[in-house]
Structure 1
C-alpha cells in the first residue's frame, strides 16, 4: 500500500478534520459512479478508502507512524554502516607493527592468531620436551641470548607486505567458503483473492529449474504473510537445497483485508441513510441481509460477525460494511428544494 498521507494529499501532522475533508473530496472525485470510462477508478477509490481507514483510527495511525519512523531509522543506520565500511576499506593500513594476519583479523572480526595457535600447540609441546632433555648449559646459554635486546628482537616492519596480505585474504575467503552448506532460498510473491483464501485454493509458482510448487493457502492466511517451504528453493550441487520463501499478497478488489476482517463499501441513497432500510450486500461467499439504521452517515460501519477470513483456530473474522452515501443518477427537484430550504433557513 502507498503512503496514506500521499494518497489523501495531506501532511503527516494533519488533524482528523483535515483528513476527513481530504477523503470526502478525493472519494467524490474518484468514485467509480462518476468515472465510468476509467477502468482504474475502482482501484483508486479502494486505495483512498484504505488510506482513510488507517488515518482516521488513532491507534492504527500511531502504529503506522511508528513503523515508518523505525524503518527510516534502520535505513539511516544501514547507510551510516555502509559509509563506515567504505571508509574502512579505502583508508591506509595502520602503521603500528600490524602484520597480515592481524589486519585480516581486524577486518573480519576474527582472531586469526588464535586459530593458528591451536594447530601449533602440539609441535610446541614436543619442542619443549626436547629442550628439557638437552644439557643444562645449552639452556642457560639460550636464556642469556634471549635476555639481550638485540636488533633482531625489534619489529622489522610497520605494515604487512602486499604478498602476505593477499595470501591472508585468500586463506580467509577459502575458510569462509568451507562453511557454506545450503543453497540460496527462492524468494517470491504470490497474488490471491479473498475467495481463493476462503476456498483454500493452492496457487503455484515455478522454480528456475522449471519445477512447479503448490503453495498451501488456508486458515490463518492474511495479506503479507510469509510462508516458508522447506527444501523447495534453489538447487546447487554438493549443497543442501534452499527453502522457498513465499509472501502472500491479497489482490485489491471489493474486499479490503484488515487482519482477519474484511471491509467492503455499502453504497446507499440519502433517503435510506436518513430513514434506514433493509438491503442485501454481496459477501465473499454469497449474499447477506443487512439492516441500515436510521440516520447513518459515511463515517459509520455495520459489522457482520463471522464473514471474514479464517483464523488458525477455525474462527472467522468479521465483514465490515462501510456506508457510502450516493446521489441519484439524475437531479431531483424536490430534494434540491429541500436542501436549499435547509441551508438558507426557508420552510416550504
Structure 2
C-alpha cells in the first residue's frame, strides 16, 4: 500500500540527529498531550495522535529510520531492505512509503512489466523518453485483467433462458444469451470483451448469474420443490389437486389414501428444463387441521368415525 510520507522529525519536534532516547522522550510527551481521551473538545486530536504514532513507529526502528533518512537525502530513488518496506521520492518531491507482503519489485516485473520502483515512478511522474514525449505508464503492462460481472435474473427468466441486455463496467452495453435452466453461480465468458484502460485491453469478461428466489418453488439441482395443503379427511381418503408448475402448465396431482404429513409426491419431467435434461417436481404434502367445527359437523364426523372404528372409547 502506498502513502505520502510526512516529515517525521518535524512532527515529533526533534532534530535529524536526535538520539533514540530523545525521540522516545518527545513521543511520550506528545502522546500524552494529544491523546484523544484527554482532548474531547479538539476535533483534530485523533488525527494528530495518529501522526505522532506513525512518526515514532518509523524513527524508533533503526532500519526504517535509515531508509527514511536515505530517502530524504536523495532527490530521486527508492530504498528498502527487501522485507516489503520501501520509501520512494518522486521527481515532484512527494515521498511515498510502500508496505508489501512480498518482494514489490518482483511483483511489478511479473505482473506489469516494470523492472523496478524507479521504472514505475519514472513512467508515472517523470516518464519522458528521448523524443521528449511522455510515455504511457500502462504501455508495458503484460497481463490483461479479466472482469467479472454479476447479472441478477428473475426465476422465470432463468428457467426459460433467452437474450438479455447488460452494461459492462466501462459503460459498454452488450446483449448476452442466457442458457435455458441456468442456475446461480453459473459463469459464461465474453471473449476479449473486457474494458480498455489507457488503450490497453483488459482481457475477458466473465458473466456470473444470480437467480432470484421464487415464492412457491425451491430449486435443488434441476429438481423443483413446492407444497400442497390438504385436510385430514383428504389425507385418509385420498384426493386430487390441480397445480401450476413453474412454467405455468397445469398439473392434476393425485394424492393417494393414507398420505402422511410431509410426504413428497414426485411428478416426473416438471422440474427445470435444460438443453439436455429435465428435472422432476416434488410436491410436499402439508396437513391443515380445522380449528373450528360447528356442533353439527362434530356430530356427523364423530358418528362416522365411530362406525368406521376410528375412535377409541
TM-score w.r.t. length of structure 1? 0.46
Query: Is 1:281 matched with 2:243?
Result: yes
Gap change, CA 1:201 and 1:336, over 3 Å in 2: farther
Matched residues in 2 for 1:192 and 1:200: separation? 10
Query: Is 1:299 matched with 2:262?
Result: yes
Query: Is 1:214 matched with 2:193?
Result: no
Which residue is equivalent to 1:83? none
Structure 1 runs not aligned, ≥5 long: 1-89, 117-167
Gap change, CA 1:332 and 1:308, over 3 Å in 2: farther
Matched residues in 2 for 1:170 and 1:108: separation? 19
Which residue is equivalent to 2:4? none
Which residue is equivalent to 1:228? 189
Structure 2 runs not aligned, ≥5 long: 1-56, 71-78, 86-99, 110-115, 124-136
Gap change, CA 1:248 and 1:278, over 3 Å in 2: same
Q: Tell me the secondary structure at the aligned position of residue 259 of structure 2.
A: coil
* Equivalent residue pairs, number: 203
Matched residues in 1 for 2:190 and 2:121: separation? 30
After TM superposition, give the deviation of residue 217 of structure 1 in Å.
2.0
Matched residues in 2 for 1:334 and 1:241: separation? 77
Q: Tell me the secondary structure at the aligned position of residue 224 of structure 2.
A: strand
Gap change, CA 1:244 and 1:233, over 3 Å in 2: farther
Root mean square deviation, CA, Å: 4.2
Q: Tell me the secondary structure at the aligned position of residue 188 of structure 2.
A: strand
After TM superposition, give the deviation of residue 347 of structure 1 in Å.
5.4
2:229 maps to which of 253, 258, 267: 267
Query: Is 1:103 matched with 2:82?
Result: yes
Q: Tell me the secondary structure at the aligned position of residue 260 of structure 2.
A: coil
Which residue is equivalent to 1:317? 279
Matched residues in 2 for 1:186 and 1:267: separation? 43
Counterpart contact for 1:279–1:291, Cα < 8 Å: yes
Matched residues in 1 for 2:181 and 2:62: separation? 55
Gap change, CA 1:263 and 1:334, over 3 Å in 2: farther
Query: Is 1:251 matched with 2:213?
Result: yes
TM-score w.r.t. length of structure 2? 0.51
Counterpart contact for 1:307–1:318, Cα < 8 Å: yes
After TM superposition, give the deviation of residue 300 of structure 1 in Å.
0.9
Q: Give deviations 1:34-74, integer Å, cap 9, x for gaps.
A: xxxxxxxxxxxxxxxxxxxxxxxxxxxxxxxxxxxxxxxxx
Whose strand fraction is larger, Structure 1's or Structure 2's? 2
After TM superposition, give the deviation of residue 209 of structure 1 in Å.
4.7
Counterpart contact for 2:188–2:208, Cα < 8 Å: yes
Counterpart contact for 1:265–1:321, Cα < 8 Å: yes
